[in-house]
Amino acid sequence: MSRLWQFLATAILVVASFNAWSDTALGYQKPPSEILDLVDIKLAPSTFMDDKRENMLMLYRDTYKSISDLSKKEMRLAGLRIDPVTNIGSRVTYYNEMKIKHLVDGKTITVKGIPENARLANFQWSPDQKKMAFTHTTETAVELWYLDIAKAKAKRLSKMALNANLGNVITWFADSRSLLVKAVPENKRALIDTNSAVPNGPTISVSDGKKAQNRTYQDLLKNKDDEFNFEQLALSTLYKVTLKGKSKRWLDTAMYGDLSISPDGKYVLVNEVKRPFSYLVPYYRFASSTSVYDIDADLVSVIADTPLVEDLPKGFMAVIDGRREVSWRQDEAATLIYVKALDGGDPAKEVEFRDQVYQLSAPFKGEGRPLIKTFNRFYRITWGDNNTAIAQDYWWNNRNTKSYLFAPNDNSKQPRILFDRNYQDRYSDPGSFVTQRNQFARPVLAIQDGSLFLLGAGHSKEGQFPFLDSLSLNDQKLTRLYHSSYTDKLERLYDFEADKSRLLVRIESKNEYPNYYFRTLNSQKQALTQITHFENPFKSIQNVEKQVIDYKREDGLELSATLYLPLDYKKGEKYPMLMWAYPREFKDKSSASQNTQNPNEFTYPYYGSPIYWVTKGYVVLDDAAFPIVGEGEEEPNDSFRTQLVANAKAAIDAVDEKGLIDRERVAVGGHSYGAFMVANLLSHSDLFAAGIARSGAYNRTLTPFGFQSEERSYWEAPDIYYTMSPFMHADKMKTPLLLIHGNDDNNSGTYPMQSERYFNALKGLGAPVRLVMLPKESHGYRAKESILHVLWEQDRWLDLHLKPKQSQLSNAK
């Protein structure tokens, strides 16, 4: 047969294959067995461990929801997605089995009394950690349950229907014998069916001349009917419920948000959402009040009245001008903490200090006593005692963070800055301070012999070696107490018991499933005691060859990625490659070039992972570094496209130099901002044979007041918005692109219309593109049917465009 006829026969097969696959009425499909066997697995449990390290609660769940679960009635109001029948989030992850592992003798007991078809959530330890409260969602309501740890027995506490729509639904009182819960009001009014209700007039919005430059939030209120429904679903009545099942009304009906009991148990901090509502921002920026009640539900003081926040100053570091972040001081019986901006909440103002932290004691009247000023925007405080606390701040624009050591009860002592660093600089990260439970059962700094302790991830140029340090309160000297020396495993440090000189760690390798251990430091050879014995459910890929590779961009910037070879790899052969990445913005090249990937991390395929394709004869380059750097006055996005293409070329060159791939058969994939990256790469380079873009945004004029890490509005930087938008360059697209999007995406900026409009543009211009809209799915995909179909779509797309010969032969047979 002549080459001409061979070409024509091949073309006919490809066209026939593509047409057979382009059926718009296609039902849910499943990927091939090699991939399916890695998806349809039983998950290891989630774990809760008490602070005494005596018991571990293990919670089991189904790996995926079903499409029928996602198809239940749902209301999307003020940034929330609610099941209006049961009064809980419509996309909550539920557990259906509980076990208790006794860490002293190693015995595991299955909890008795769990209801049939259990849907368990909202787990809360009691202060004494002898009990665990949780909710069970039936077909009609959310119920209150609790678990007696010693008896390993669960019990329903009340038949009342709880309201889990707003804030925490369960709050333990300090006595561990009673709980404060939110119940659905007895006089709750029927909701309006907005799909069938007859409108009584238009919806009108008005601007009063103030700037209100907000992100493109989704699921916002749209009209008066939405306002009514939101209020009915947010209203709850507070009840005190004892462990004997007796209930007593505690506060009358209102839109309660978060609730918090004071450490001594004598007061309750109550947040309440109020009108006016907004059609521009989610519920957490509606008007609200924060008040203190005593244990008998008598109002003690209103701490903060916060108005509707629609018009914050411009910038990521903008905050309200008034009291914010009200909370309890964890090391005192009943002292409130709050923060006030010293710059009016406007990051554009030049001031020495940005924030001031205050404390306010009972009876919680007037202005509090100043505690500490922060140079940057306040982040958090880890409390210790009257003489010791650690405050942290941060500033997004220069990525700076500071940690302060200060004495809460002695203003004569000036705070000392312990760490002043770029928070994107992982190599200099000192770690997180170790905490322990105090007499109020609250986490406070672990202080022993005049020292604090820090647990660090241990990233460095030489690799990752997690560590434990002590910090002297006297001279702030750091002393290394332990560092992991594994070169073939990864040891993560989770906690340190200073009195026992014992670490809680998790150890894993690329083919060993993560398990928990105790490491005793003062014992011979720092002995390990294994706590859990979870098995690897992904054994078919446990021997995949995996390595972290380092390479350089054309401007000298050091990059890295995790490289996987096909399971059937044969030296000397060249394979197609799938590269997966996500762009990240940096303000300095040093941080951007740091390698934080570990080849010893367990190889864990999840629904969005590219790892599956090592079973199908592909080289996989995962988590390829895609830094976008803007130093000094330059913003990262000023050269976004140039850096994007340079990153991609450097990655392909690095793998090609190893002789592993056919660089004419390389695909690139990404999710969310990674999908945006894919569309730009295919439009502005010829490096790829195909692309996969999931749940992305492609027209930045639809997010005109900023996106991702871009603070400037469209009107301030129109060229940036135009240049970065793949939609504006749809005429340049010649590479096959698979677009996938959840039909009910709730992520800011990634409206489903982003993919729909981009597809229409590409189709109209004759570009090779396929659009898959997933019913009922949000920004991340949850239903098993959807996930299997997405994997099928991706597999077919890759085979069609990266393995044309194999694909044609398969279809010909």
Phi/psi for 443 (5° steps) reads -75, 125
Phi/psi for 278 (5° steps) reads -145, 150
In the numeric block, which tokens belong to residue 691?
């692309």
Determine whether 677 is exposed, middle or buried from the number of CB atoms within 10 Å of its CB (0-12, 13-18, 19+): buried
Q: How far apart are CA 94 and CA 724, in angstroms?
A: 39
3-state SS assignment for residue 585: strand
Whole-structure pTM value: 0.93
Active site residue 729: no
Active site residue 779: yes
DSSP 323: -
Amino acid at 431: G
Residues 6+ apart with CB under 8 A from 694: 608, 669, 670, 671, 672, 674, 675, 739, 740, 741, 790
Instruction: Give the number of other Cβ atoms within 10 Å of residue 135's Cβ.
Output: 24
Phi/psi for 14 (5° steps) reads -65, -45
> What are the start-end ranges of the E strands in 558-713?
558-564, 575-586, 619-629, 661-671, 690-694
Please give the full DSSP string across 637-657, using - where no structure is assigned: GGGHHHHHHHHHHHHHHHHHT
HSE-up of 802 (CA within 13 Å, CB side)?
32
CB 401 within 8 A of CB 392: yes
Q: How far apart are CA 574 and CA 566, in angstroms?
A: 11
Q: What is the pLDDT of residue 20?
A: 45
Determine whether 613 is exposed, middle or buried from the number of CB atoms within 10 Å of its CB (0-12, 13-18, 19+): buried
Q: What is the pLDDT of residue 204?
A: 67
Q: What angle do CA 774, 66, 99 make, to 5 degrees?
A: 140
The secondary structure of 122-189, three-state, reads EEEECCCCCEEEEEEECCCCEEEEEEECCCCEEEEEEEEEECECCCCCEEECCCCCEEEEEECCCCCC
Q: Which of 451, 672, 748, 778 is catalytic?
A: 672
In the numeric block, which tokens belong to residue 783?
């239903």
| Type and span of the H or E element at 20 | helix 3-21
- Residue ranges for the chain with pLDDT beneath 70: 1-25, 196-197, 203-213, 805-813
Phi-psi category of residue 222: left, alpha or beta, with phi > 0 → left and psi -120 to 50 → alpha: alpha
DSSP 556: S
Residues 6+ apart with CB under 8 A from 703: 215, 216, 697, 748, 749
Q: What is the pLDDT of residue 136?
A: 98
DSSP 196: T
Phi/psi for 132 (5° steps) reads -135, 120
Amino acid at 646: A
Phi/psi for 130 (5° steps) reads -100, -5
Q: How far apart are CA 327 and CA 337, in angstroms?
A: 5
The residue count of the chain comes to 813
Q: Which of 102, 148, 623, 779 is catalytic?
A: 779
CB 643 within 8 A of CB 586: no
Q: What is the pLDDT of residue 15?
A: 46
Q: How far apart are CA 137 and CA 758, in angstroms?
A: 40
Active site residue 83: no
CB 94 within 8 A of CB 69: no
Give, in order, the Cα–Cα distances in Å from 696 to each of 444, 605, 702, 738, 750: 41, 21, 12, 12, 6
| Type and span of the H or E element at 378 | strand 377-385
Residues forming a β-bridge with 740 = 694, 772
Q: How far apart are CA 668 and CA 619, in angstroms?
A: 12
Give, in order, the Cα–Cα distances in Å from 112 to each of 3, 48, 99, 125, 733: 72, 18, 9, 18, 59
> What are the start-end ranges of the E strands in 61-130?
75-77, 80-83, 88-89, 97-102, 108-110, 120-125
First to last CA, the chain: 19
- What order of strands is seen across the sheet that includes strand 416-422? 377-385, 388-395, 400-406, 416-422
Distance of CA 684 to the CA centre of its chain: 31
Q: Which of 622, 745, 795, 799 is catalytic?
A: 745
CB 526 within 8 A of CB 507: no
Residue holding tokens 């992904």?
Answer: 538
3-state SS assignment for residue 722: helix
In b/e form, how buried is each residue of 684-711, taking b as 16+ CB within 10 angstroms? Answer: bbebbbbbbbbbbbbbbebbbbbbbbbb
Q: What is the pLDDT of residue 30?
A: 96
HSE-up of 690 (CA within 13 Å, CB side)?
22
- What order of strands is seen across the sheet that includes strand 80-83? 75-77, 80-83, 88-89
Q: How far apart are CA 392 and CA 380, in angstroms?
A: 5
Which of 233, 278, 222 is CA-nearest to residue 256? 233
